[in-house]
């Protein structure tokens, strides 16, 4: 886990964060940064923190305050522009780019900077890229442009060539361990672990099989463990347990928590508790396997405990 306060929860990206530290702290007229790397490794989180950094009205010791409008909800900030397709897989509209570009040469309305988030950058068409070209060639002072892509080759070259490119890397096993070892999972832990497994060709085929298994049998622990025992995948049971952790639903349940705290629903709290309990069971299984506890015993114990958790959730 990085010690950098402005990017808590982003693991394994020390090189990228160090580069960004340098870029953000220098007294630069404007910045255009392209964060690129595999999906699910923290680019969006970092980009949002950079937006907060640009917009924060009480930046102290070079870290955003976490309290002001720029920090809490930059989407509503008058100096923020979010260039994104209307629907996933769509394109960024040239009209949106033109509108933002027209304002970019004026001083910010209330923040220290204007800040643009382009997500994903490959959604820029040649025309929308052209509409921002003059801006990128001579960045106005007080304009921060942060773009994200997992497919830099698909970003129009005119845009890509003008950016400071900051690579993000796939999580390694140390990164995975640090996520799994946290006392509470980061909101995006599931996504990050999943991305790491999926980007590893050795894991990909197995993960697809698990996803099918889990989809068809509703993540039945009996079937999962039977599968793990019978799998001729060459994976250790430990790796299988880690993959189950990756595929479990902690992150998506956690995402629905704000509604629960607002009193709209109690159900996500119970579901989150159950998901976290299951995660603990799987973590214990991994630890037991590391300690050479008999695998049959670990399997049976894991099944029994997960069944208990599911029973308590449905009762």
CB of 142 to Zn ion, least distance (A): 16
- Residue with the two structure tokens 């970019």: 104
Q: What is d(CA 254, CA 186) in angstroms, rounded to the nearest whole number?
A: 9
By beta-carbon proximity to Zn ion, the closer residue of 66 and 258 is: 66
Q: Does 56 bind Zn ion (CB under 5 A)?
A: yes
Closest-approach residue to Zn ion (CB): 56
Q: What does each C-alpha distance from 306 to 93, 222, 269 come to in angstroms?
A: 48, 10, 18
Binding part of the chain for Zn ion, among 6-14, 56-64, 148-156, 275-283 by CB under 5 A, reads 56-64
Enumerate residues 64-103 that contact Zn ion by CB under 5 A.
Answer: 64-65, 68, 71
CB of 49 to Zn ion, least distance (A): 11
CB atoms within 10 A of CB 216: 10
CB of 67 to Zn ion, least distance (A): 6
By beta-carbon proximity to Zn ion, the closer residue of 58 and 229 is: 58
By beta-carbon proximity to Zn ion, the closer residue of 72 and 238 is: 72
Beta-carbon contacts of 303 under 8 Å, excluding residues fewer than 6 positions away, are 221, 222, 225
**3-state SS class at 235:** coil
By beta-carbon proximity to Zn ion, the closer residue of 73 and 161 is: 73
Q: What is d(CA 11, CA 3) in angstroms, rounded to the nearest whole number?
A: 10
CB of 216 to Zn ion, least distance (A): 47
By beta-carbon proximity to Zn ion, the closer residue of 47 and 189 is: 47
By beta-carbon proximity to Zn ion, the closer residue of 41 and 51 is: 51
CB of 72 to Zn ion, least distance (A): 8
Q: What does each C-alpha distance from 203 to 199, 215, 233, 289 come to in angstroms?
A: 8, 18, 9, 20
CB of 26 to Zn ion, least distance (A): 20
Binding part of the chain for Zn ion, among 36-44, 51-59, 98-106, 174-182 by CB under 5 A, reads 51-59
CB of 73 to Zn ion, least distance (A): 11
Runs of H (alpha helix) within the chain? 14-25, 43-55, 69-72, 94-104, 126-131, 133-137, 157-160, 173-180, 189-198, 201-217, 221-230, 237-247, 250-255, 257-261, 267-290, 295-314
Binding part of the chain for Zn ion, among 63-71, 122-130, 201-209, 270-278 by CB under 5 A, reads 63-71
Contacts 24+ apart (CB under 8 A), 63-71: 63/5, 63/6, 64/6, 70/111
Q: Does 50 bind Zn ion (CB under 5 A)?
A: no
Q: Which residues bind Zn ion (CB under 5 A)?
A: 56, 64-65, 68, 71
């Amino acid at each position: 886990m990085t010690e950098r306060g402005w990017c808590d929860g982003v693991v394994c990206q020390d090189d990228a964060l160090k580069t960004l530290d340098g870029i953000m702290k220098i007294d630069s007229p404007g910045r255009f940064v392209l964060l690129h790397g595999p999906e699910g490794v923290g680019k969006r989180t970092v980009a949002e923190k950079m937006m907060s950094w640009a917009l924060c009205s009480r930046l102290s010791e070079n870290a955003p305050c976490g309290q002001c409008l720029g920090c809490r909800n930059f989407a509503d900030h008058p100096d923020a522009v979010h260039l994104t397709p209307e629907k996933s897989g769509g394109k960024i509209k040239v009209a949106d780019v033109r509108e933002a570009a027209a304002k970019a040469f004026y001083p910010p309305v209330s923040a220290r900077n204007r800040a643009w988030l382009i997500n994903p950058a490959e959604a820029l068409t040649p025309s929308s890229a052209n509409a921002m070209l003059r801006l990128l060639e001579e960045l106005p002072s007080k304009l921060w442009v942060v773009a994200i892509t997992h497919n830099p080759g698909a970003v129009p070259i005119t845009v890509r060539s003008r950016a400071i490119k900051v690579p993000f890397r796939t999580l390694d096993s140390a990164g995975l361990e640090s996520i799994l070892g946290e006392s509470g999972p980061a909101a995006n832990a599931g996504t990050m672990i999943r991305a790491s497994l999926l980007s590893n060709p050795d894991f990909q085929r197995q993960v697809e099989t698990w996803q099918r298994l889990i989809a068809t049998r509703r993540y039945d622990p009996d079937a999962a463990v039977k599968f793990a025992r019978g799998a001729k995948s060459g994976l250790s049971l430990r790796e299988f347990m880690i993959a189950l952790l990756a595929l479990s639903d902690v992150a998506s349940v956690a995402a629905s928590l704000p509604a629960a705290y607002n009193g709209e629903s109690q159900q996500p709290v119970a579901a989150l508790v159950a998901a976290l309990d299951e995660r603990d069971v799987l973590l214990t299984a991994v630890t037991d396997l590391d300690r050479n506890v008999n695998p049959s015993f670990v399997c049976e114990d894991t099944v029994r405990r997960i069944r208990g958790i599911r029973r308590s959730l449905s009762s």
